[in-house]
């Protein structure tokens, strides 16, 4: 059980870091990136949910 808790803590820390860094990007810049890159645009919903602090479902 300890290994699982440690793994979840490590993952949560990485996701929090990503969320904080993502929120530093101006909305207009992020939208421009989605518009110019079809591969990135595939992840628009997930990226926006992370930026809003919503949990992603499996």
Q: Residue 19: which domain range?
A: 2-51
Could you tell me which residue, 57 or 47, shows the higher pLDDT?
A: 47
**Residue 58: inside a domain, yes or no?**
no
The answer to whether the beta carbons of residues 30 and 5 sit under 8 Å apart is: no
Give, to the nearest 10 degrees, the angle between helix 44-51 and helix 2-22.
100
**Residue 24: inside a domain, yes or no?**
yes
pLDDT digit string (tens) for 16-47?
A: 888 888 889 998 999 999 999 999 999 999 88
Q: Does pLDDT of 57 surpass 60? A: no
pLDDT at 56: 58
**Residue 57: inside a domain, yes or no?**
no
**Residue 15: inside a domain, yes or no?**
yes
pLDDT at 54: 67
pTM, rounded to two decimals: 0.64
Q: Give the chain's length.
A: 58
Tally of structural domains, the chain: 1
**Residue 56: inside a domain, yes or no?**
no
Residue located via tokens 């909305």: 27
């Amino acid at each position: 059980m300890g290994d699982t808790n440690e793994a979840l803590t490590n993952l949560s820390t990485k996701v929090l870091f990503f969320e904080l860094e993502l929120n530093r990007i101006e909305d207009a810049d992020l939208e421009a990136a989605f518009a110019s890159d079809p591969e990135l645009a595939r992840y628009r919903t997930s990226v926006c949910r992370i930026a809003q602090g919503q949990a992603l479902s499996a």
